[in-house]
């Protein structure tokens, strides 16, 4: 029977009345009891919900994750579908007869204003498949790998847009045993499921659990540290997730922190990207002003970290990887170490110098993690700042890298960080430079033909090596861009060859 104006709003089976605002909020969240409630049709008739325009899935499904503008592209509706699609995809790999309600998918989120409601929607979608949603709250992205790995969960979804501006959000997905779900490893399957979903009103039948993973996670990452001596460092958390645990963790090691941008209010004082030199300016000034032993800058979801030395000079992440090589190979002689093909020649030389096996790999975390497993490699690093550890569930961790760098610095108390890095600065590099190119494949083939007298390979884009210099030029997965990295024995050769390549690629893009 329809309600009368004098009726008190009350959910079916509940003793107490609710306000109109609470009623409408529950309807908007697809509260299970709303389906059988006489107030539902009345509320919808009074104020029908505007239709949500369809999201262009091709625009938000990227090579490694799902990202876009919050509220218009990354909506609660899409979040529900991503949760549902993820659960259906990973549950499809279970043996026949498996009890879905005994399986869990971990759901975490970063500090963005839109992340909490999106995480709730993801959980509801997961539970609609019958799988349990394990909510671990506001965490850094590497912590979700720990949760999935340590709990032997079916998978994980982290709500984050990493280093993108505050108006963005998205989802990073991992599967059983922390195997990444990316393009070529399941993300297309989830996209197909999402595309086929019309109704997001399915009842969440799977269990829901909240869990604080802080103590276990911190015990885990501390295992990677050696003896760290007291020192002062400058920490820029980029108003991101690094401020949750990193400052207190450093204090445990008697490391004094000069803090910058620790507030997690969902807004960024600078681009939360340690690869952007402009984002490091405040950190460099703080290091010089305080005499800190080094400066560190995390990205928004704290899965990457960048370093500056005590003079305020930034350090390439391939050099940081090289810095850690001796300790890794001392602990495991003869081990394989993985690195991406943009990395300096120094890295390969250091691996060979200390008796390791260098393994050059394509750019991207799915390729790096796969190579790590294939080679049973204890360690790997990318120029982007992602560093990977076998004993961290084959996954990347910025905070582990920070602890390892501080360990190396403590092992050499008479040398500054710039002293330790100086022998590794053997070559001159352009860094990674972007060029806007419409026909990427044709340009790559043209480069290969032009420089065919060098050693050419096509592992990722095109790489050409000569005795005195080399370059890699690879395509962006999502934009009409080619990304060039060039390194040479001398500055003069670097400049000469760079000008020659600009003659083919055009002027660098600011994008």
Query: Could you tell me which residues are beta bridge partners of residue 359?
Result: 338
Calculate the alpha carbon distances from 342 to 45, 58, 214 in Å: 59, 28, 35
The owner of tokens 């400058």 is 234
Cα Rg of the chain (Å, integer)? 25
Structure tokens at 395: 């996954």
Helix axis angle for 20-28 and 38-46, nearest 10°, is 90
Q: Record the tokens describing residue 198, joined without a space.
A: 């019309």
Q: Is 200 helix (H, G, I), strand (E, B) or coil?
A: coil
Catalytic residue among 162, 243, 343, 384: 162
d(CA 75, CA 371): 34
**CA 39 – CA 8 distance, rounded (Å):** 10
Q: How many residues does the chain have?
A: 511
Tell how many helices (H) and how many strands (E) occur in the chain.
17, 21
Among residues 469, 426, 451, 424, the alpha carbon closest in space to that of 505 is found at: 451
DSSP for residue 265: S
Instruction: Find where tokens 């070529």 sit.
Output: 184
Rounded Cα distance, 177 and 335, in Å: 22
What DSSP designation does 276 have?
-
What phi-psi label fits residue 184: left (phi over 0), alpha (psi between -120 and 50 degrees) or beta?
left
Which residue is associated with the tokens 């560190």? Answer: 296
What whole-number distance in Å separates Cα of residue 138 and Cα of residue 119? 10
Closest C-alpha to 27, from 48, 5, 2 = 48
Q: For this structure, is 115 an active site residue?
A: no
Nearest to 241, CA basis, from 291, 287, 297, 302: 302
Q: Exposed, middle or buried by CB within 10 Å (0-12, 13-18, 19+), for 135?
A: middle
- Could you write out the DSSP letters of every residue in 395-407? EE-HHHHHHHHHH
One DSSP character per residue, 412-461 reads -TTS-HHHHHGGG--SEEEEEEEEE-S-HHHHHHHHHHHTTTSEEE-SSS
**Which residues form the catalytic set?**
162
């Amino acid at each position: 029977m329809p309600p009368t104006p004098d009726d008190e709003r009350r959910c079916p089976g509940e003793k107490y009345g609710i306000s109109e605002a609470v009623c409408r909020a529950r309807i908007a969240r697809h509260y299970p009891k709303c389906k059988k409630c006489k107030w539902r049709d009345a509320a919808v008739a009074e104020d029908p919900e505007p239709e949500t325009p369809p999201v262009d899935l091709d625009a938000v499904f990227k090579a490694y994750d799902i990202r876009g503008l919050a509220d218009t592209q990354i909506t609660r509706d899409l979040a529900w579908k991503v949760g549902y699609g993820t659960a259906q995809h990973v549950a499809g790999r279970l043996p026949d007869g498996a009890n879905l309600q005994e399986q869990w998918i971990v759901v975490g989120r970063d500090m963005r204003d839109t992340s909490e409601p999106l995480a709730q929607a993801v959980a509801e979608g997961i539970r609609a498949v019958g799988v349990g949603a394990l909510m671990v709250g506001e965490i850094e992205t590497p912590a979700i790998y720990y949760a999935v790995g340590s709990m032997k969960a079916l998978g994980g979804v982290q709500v984050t847009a990493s280093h993108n501006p505050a108006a963005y959000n998205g989802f990073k997905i991992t599967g059983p045993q922390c195997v990444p779900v990316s393009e070529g490893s399941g993300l297309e399957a989830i996209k197909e499921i999402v595309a086929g979903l019309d109704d997001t009103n399915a009842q969440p039948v799977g269990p829901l659990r909240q869990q604080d993973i802080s103590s276990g996670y911190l015990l885990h990452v501390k295992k990677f540290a050696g003896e760290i001596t007291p020192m002062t460092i400058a920490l820029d958390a980029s108003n991101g997730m690094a401020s949750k645990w990193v400052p207190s963790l450093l204090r445990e090691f008697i490391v004094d922190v000069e803090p910058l941008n620790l507030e997690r209010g969902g807004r960024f004082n600078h681009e939360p990207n340690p690869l952007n030199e402009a984002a490091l300016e405040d950190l460099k000034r703080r290091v010089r002003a305080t005499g800190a032993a080094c400066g560190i800058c995390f990205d928004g979801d704290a899965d990457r970290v960048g370093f500056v030395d005590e003079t305020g000079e930034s350090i390439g992440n391939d050099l940081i990887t090289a810095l850690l090589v001796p300790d890794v190979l001392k602990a495991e002689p003869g081990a394989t170490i993985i690195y991406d093909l943009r990395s300096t020649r120094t890295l390969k030389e250091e691996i060979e110098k200390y008796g390791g096996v260098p393994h050059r790999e394509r750019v991207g975390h799915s390729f790096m993690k796969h190579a790590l497993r294939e080679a049973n490699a204890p360690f790997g690093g990318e120029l982007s700042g992602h560093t990977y550890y076998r004993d961290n569930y084959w996954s990347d961790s910025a905070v582990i890298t920070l602890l390892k760098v501080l360990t190396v610095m403590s092992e050499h108390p008479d040398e500054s960080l710039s002293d330790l890095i100086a022998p590794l600065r053997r070559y001159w590099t352009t860094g990674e430079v972007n060029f806007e190119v419409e026909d990427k494949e044709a340009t790559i083939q043209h480069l290969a033909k032009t420089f065919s007298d060098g050693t050419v390979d096509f592992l990722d884009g095109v790489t050409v090596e000569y005795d005195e210099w080399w370059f890699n030029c690879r395509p962006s997965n999502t934009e009409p861009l080619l990304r060039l990295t060039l390194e040479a024995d001398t500055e003069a050769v670097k400049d000469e060859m760079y000008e020659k390549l600009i003659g083919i690629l055009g002027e660098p893009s600011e994008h």
